Amino acid sequence: MKYNNNNKLKKHKFNIKTINEEIEEYEESHYEKYKHIYGISITILLIIIIIFSFVLSPNISLKFASNILSGNLKNNTFTVNSTLKIILSENIKKELIQSYKQNKPYEIKLCLIGQIINGDYIINKIFHPKIIEQSVVHVISQGCPETTLIDIHSHPFDNCLFSNTDFNTYKRAKKTNEKLLMGVMCSENKFLFVNE
Secondary structure (DSSP) of 51-113: HHHHHH-HHHHHHHHHHHH-EE-BTTEEEEETTEEEEE-HHHHHHHHHHHHHHTTS--EEEEE
Tens-digit pLDDT profile for residues 59-68: 555 565 555 6
Amino acid at 105: P
Q: How much is the pLDDT for 156?
A: 79
**Bridge-partner residues for 190, per DSSP?**
72, 187
Q: How much is the pLDDT for 132?
A: 92
Tally Cβ neighbours within 10 Å of residue 107.
23
Stated pTM of the model: 0.66
Work out the average pLDDT over 72-81. Answer: 86
Average of per-residue pLDDT values in the chain:
80
**pLDDT exceeds 60 at position 77:** yes
Q: How much is the pLDDT for 112?
A: 96
Give the torsion through C-alpha atoms of 8, 9, 13, 19, to 10 deg.
Answer: 40
**pLDDT exceeds 70 at position 2:** no
CA 148, CA 141: separation in Å to the nearest integer? 15
Q: How much is the pLDDT for 35?
A: 64
136: confidence class by pLDDT, cuts 50, 70, 90 = confident
If one compares 137 and 36, the residue with the highest pLDDT of the two is 137
